[in-house]
Each structure stands twice: as C-alpha cells, then as structure tokens.
Amino acid sequence: MKLHCDGQPVTLAALRTIWIEPAQISLGDDARRRIDESAAVVQKVVDSGKSVYGVNTGFGQLAQVSISVNDLARLQENLVRSHAVGVGPLLPDAIVRLILVMKIVSLAQGYSGVRSELIDTLCALVNHEIYPSIPVKGSVGASGDLAPLAHMAGALLGLGEVSVDGQIMAAKDALGEAGITPLTLAPKEGLALLNGTQVSTALALAALFRAEHVLAAAITSGAMSADAVKGSDTPFDARIQDVRGQPGQVTVASLLRTLMQGSEIRASHLECNRVQDPYSIRCQPQVMGACVDVFEHVARVLQTEANAVSDNPLVFAESGDILSGGNFHAEPVAMAADYLALAIAEIGAISERRTALLIDSHLSGLPAFLVRDGGLNSGFMMAQVTAAALASENKSLAHPASVDSLPTSANQEDHVSMATFAAHRLHNMLDNVSSIVAIEVLAAAQGIEFHHPQNSSAVIETIIQQVRLFSPPYETDRSLSGDIEQLADLIDGGSFCEPCRTVLPSFEA
C-alpha cells in the first residue's frame, strides 16, 4: 500500500488496506508548502513574545503560566513524558499503523503548526514498520487521546519502546538501526502530536472492518438456518421490502434470496401448511438490514474523522490566526462506536436465537439437539448455551460509553467522550459474536445435512464442504470447542465476505 499525502482524503478502502498490511507513505509538495506556512506562523509568535496557548504557555489549567523562550523545547518534551501514563495491554501493530497514518494525514493538512521534519519522521516509522508500543487504556477521549498518543510521540524522541517485526525493543535502538534521527520538538509540536482522536478512531475503524466480516457471515448463516428448518423465503420477497423502503432491509433480503436460490430443500416444501416462521428467520431483512444501515452511518463518520484535523490550537496561515477550539473532543467517534455496539449485539442476539430454534425439534422438525440417538448423545445442547452466554455478555458491553463522563484536569476538561473505551470494547464484542455465528454455522450445516440427499443451494453446500474440512458431521458426542474457535477465526478473517460484499462499506469505497 502506497499513500501519497497531498490534500486528497483517504478512502475507507485505503484505511482497510493499511489495517491489513504494511504501508509506504510520503508527503506531496503542496502538503509541504501548507505545513511550512503553518510552522512559520508559530515561529512568528515565538519571535514576537506574544502568549499563545500550547506554544509558549502551560497546558490545561496551567495555561496561564508563561514559558520562557529558552524552555520551549523542554516544555514540549515534558508534555510528552508526563502524559505517557497509559496502562494495560499494548495495541496491535495493525491499529498502531492506522494511528500513525491518520496522525500524518491530519498534520499534513497544514493547520497544526508543526515542521515537515516531524511529519517526515512519522512517515519513516510507518515506512520502516516501527510501531510505538501504546497501552490501550488511559484515554477519556477528550483533549484528544492524550496518554496513548504520548506513547506514540515518545518514540519519535527515542523514548519508550516500539514493536519491530513483532518484537519489543527500545525506541532509541530501533530508530538507530533504521537510520532515523530522534526529534527535538519545536514549539507546539508536542501538543499537536498528543491532541487528536486518532487512537479512538483507529480502534473504531478496526472494529468496523472486523464487524463487516461478522455481518457477512451472519447473513450467510441466517440463510443456512432458514433452509435447515425448511423456512419460507416468501418474507424475503422484494415487494415486501420495497413498500417499507429501508435500504439495508432491501439489500439483505436480496442477498438472502441469492444465497438460497436453487435450494432443493426449499423446493421440497413450497406447498407446506406452515403459515409463518419465527421472527429470527422471518425478520432477518428487517434486523440485519438495520445493522447494515448502522454500518453505513458509522463508516461515514469514521472516514470523516480519519481525515479530520483534531488537534488544538489550530493555525490558519492565510490570516496568521491561531485559534483555540475543541476538535480533540471525540464525541462523534464515541457515539458512532456506541451505535456500532448495538448492531454487533443484535447480530449475535438473532444468531443465537436461530441456533436455539435449530436444536428445538418441536420448532425445527430436526432431531432434538441436532444429533441421532438423543439422550445417549447431547448434541448441540451446550453449544447453544455457550452462544447464549456470549450474547448475554454482549448485552452488557453494548451499554453506551458516551453517556458517561468524569471531569479531568482539575475540572478544566469537565466533559469527556469516553470514545477510546467505546471503541476498544467493540473488539471484545466481536470476539463473542464471531463465536456465536460460528456455532450457528455448525448447527445449520448439521441441520441441512439431515435433509440430504436433498441439497441446499450451491453456495451454501460449498460453505458446508469448506466447514467439513476441519469439522466433521456430529455423529456422537465430542467437544466442539476447537471447531468453534477455528470457524470463528475464519469468520473474523473475512472468509464469508465474498457473497455479501455489496453490504460492506469499506469494500465499496
């Protein structure tokens, strides 16, 4: 992936690629001109002796303290050192790569007053695959992601640790081996690095990309379950969707029809007496379609934020003004993450209900718990319990983070977004729902095979064949734990995306 920063917005598809694989990034001439003009405004302020927040003053409640010219470099380094107080596990390299790229994109727009040299050093980290070690916890998502971005900034100074080829090493040593000179920060540069929503946004973007994989798998597993219980595809008729008009619903119903097209199982019961299926089968277009619409909204918000200038104060070179505002407040990211959490929870909730339907012989018409010799064998009884446990856990995790706020910095920062946690908790939810959907795929495959020699659609039978490469049919009781984990990994990795690419925002960009 090669990215040339020269004023063009970064697409969602490019961000997905940066999340997946290493990237090469560079600055264009127009970007350098804007950056240099902005930095010149800051230098003019320093030369004039005028007090401007973040340039020659303290920070937060200490903003009234003037700093002498001789201490300006130390001021910025002290800011980085004092704010690097994150705790918890380190962010994965893929997410750190997104953070670095988005910070470059933001600074390169020329509103932050930093030098080209600083941005070039950030580019060098990306290009040499040197990823700062950033603990995941410690940000409340206002005044930017201060603590985690301080750990990122420290690496530019040769402070702290970094990840290189998956190994943790001292930042100073990694820079030396790559031939990168550690920076001495100029006025405002530490603040420009620490202010910003890049950590929250990277976590949310990575969750969106993973959620797309789960969404695709859950639409597919829903079609499989519908066929396994001899459900009707009439509720997926285009006419029903069109009179409501919700775009996600229309799209999901079309996908379900395509996935089930040509099923011999469906053809075998066209004239059956069943009037209506349970909601988890019948209302898939409405539920999953609403999730698709959520994904579209979240994608728009996050793509905008990925291209945003979110530090403070901002430098407007044309007028020479330096304006203090609040673009670092990550409320848009927090609310988008909370909205995405609802969709993730619902994907898991309806999937678990379909698994419960499959194992209930009174409703599904299949052998109890999807196994021969029930009683002697318990079949999928406990697999559904696991799905229920995970779905219930996701209900708690779906509680909105953005409604919480604790004042910080002696009440100077009296309302915060909690965006970093809002985005980070999505990954725990996605781990859960990947397993929930994996359980449904295994159960639905078992159910469909009870109908053989009547086959499902060609698409679904191909999926079952792929599952059977590592998970044989359930004949007698055995542990399904390994099967579930392996299938969940395939789901998380995007193995089910191909039939459903049209509903995945980052695949369309």
What are the φ and ψ backbone dihedral angles of 66, each rounded to 5 degrees?
-85, 140
Q: List the one residue out of 391, 373, 479, 465 whose CA is nearest residue 435.
A: 391
CA distance 222 to 286: 13
Told to judge if 131 belongs to the known catalytic residues of this protein, a careful annotator would answer no
Pairing, β 87-90 against β 135-137:
antiparallel
Tokens of 74: 């130390």
d(CA 318, CA 87): 41
Report d(CA 397, CA 84) in Å as an integer: 27
Closest listed residue to residue 9, CA positions, set 304, 443, 292, 422: 304
- Cβ neighbours around 454 below 10 Å, total: 15
Cβ proximity of 252 and 288 under 8 Å: yes
Identify the three-state secondary structure at position 63. Answer: coil
Residues 6+ apart with CB under 8 A from 117: 183
Token pair 């509720």 in the structure block, residue: 235
Residues in the chain: 509
Q: What is the separation of C-alpha 397 from the centre of its chain, rounded to a whole number of angstroms?
A: 15
Structure tokens given for 250 = 């229309």
Q: Say which of 53, 111, 131, 474 is annotated catalytic.
A: 53
Tokens matching residue 401: 């983070």
What are the C-alpha distances in Å from 321 to residues 113, 313, 324?
11, 10, 10
How, if at all, do strands 24-27 and 314-316 pair? unpaired
As given in the structure block, the two tokens for residue 150 are 């301080």
Q: Could you tell me if 312 and 323 are in contact, meaning their C-beta atoms sit under 8 angstroms apart?
A: no
The residues facing 374 across adjacent strands are: 377
Residue 353, token pair as written in the block: 């209900």
Sequence-distant (≥ 6) Cβ neighbours of residue 80 within 8 angstroms:
150, 153, 154, 157, 159, 185, 190, 193, 194
Q: Which residues are catalytic?
A: 53
